[in-house]
Structure 1
């Protein structure tokens, strides 16, 4: 019988990543976030290593810099969060849900075979819960 404990991050993650390079212009990154309706995306270095996350919250700093210092833009690396917490593709949705409840993050990169293969959001977890409605005992 399928339960939320048996459903994994891989089952509900999005493999369509909006990602950034650390040396990308942050204004271009903001445009990509907006065009794709994303709240955040992983940041990779030139070798493809995950080095950060750029979130809407990080990008708001761009507006503050412009308002207070007259400085528009800069590199993604100047604004990204470098404390990256990932989720394993085989983690259960319940484990992912616990992480979301205990943190301010809205998105986690999903890792499989030591590389980022997608991302999972709070909405993905809610979709997993909704998909199981009526399929397991309450």
Structure 2
């Protein structure tokens, strides 16, 4: 008695992933809005509002990463200014910059980066090469990557 298979013909799978981008550098933002430590808190707040961003890297004149300034950092300045009744027109961000910054390697796999976002609860990671800021990856960039890779890898 012959056994018949009811499984249809299988589609030939293309298993080459050489042309599919998987690294952080493929999805990072390279054209960044950056800040300098001598900028005023008010100018940074205006830039955050105008550009609809929640923070950004702070760099020196050599394009080296000093830290990150965020909406929360600016709110701290507002709070202190009001509490101590001190005007903030000339207050610079230098005192409020978060200097202990986690960075990500541009060669890291995008899925490993997603895991790092989950573990650290960060919203963005700068990418530094040879001491210079070259880009930034955000949670939104990882979401975009996942949607692009969905058709390639996830069925």
Which of the five TM-score ranges fits, normalised by the shorter chain? 0.7 to 0.9
- Shift of residue 46, structure 1, vs aligned partner: 3.5
Matches within 5 A, 1:1-138: 1-2=16-17, 7-73=22-88, 74-137=91-154
Name the TM-score, length of structure 1 as normaliser.
Answer: 0.88
Q: Could you list the structure 1 runs, at least 4 aligned residues long, displaced by more than 3 angstroms after superposition.
A: none
Give the structure with the larger strand fraction. 1
Structure 1 portions without partners, runs of 5+: none
Query: What is the number of equivalent residue pairs in this alignment?
Result: 137
Q: Aligned equivalents of 2:131 and 2:64: distance in 1?
A: 10
Determine if contact 1:18/1:33 at 8 Å carries over to the other structure. no
Distance in 1 of aligned mates of 2:122 and 2:154: 30
Task: Give the equivalent residue in structure 1 for 2:5.
Answer: none
Structure with more relative contact order (C-alpha pairs < 8 Å, separation 6 or more): 1
Residue range with higher mean Cα deviation, 21-30 or 58-67: 58-67
SS at match of 2:151: coil
Structure with the greater alpha carbon radius of gyration? 2
**8 Å CA contact retained: 2:63, 2:133:** no
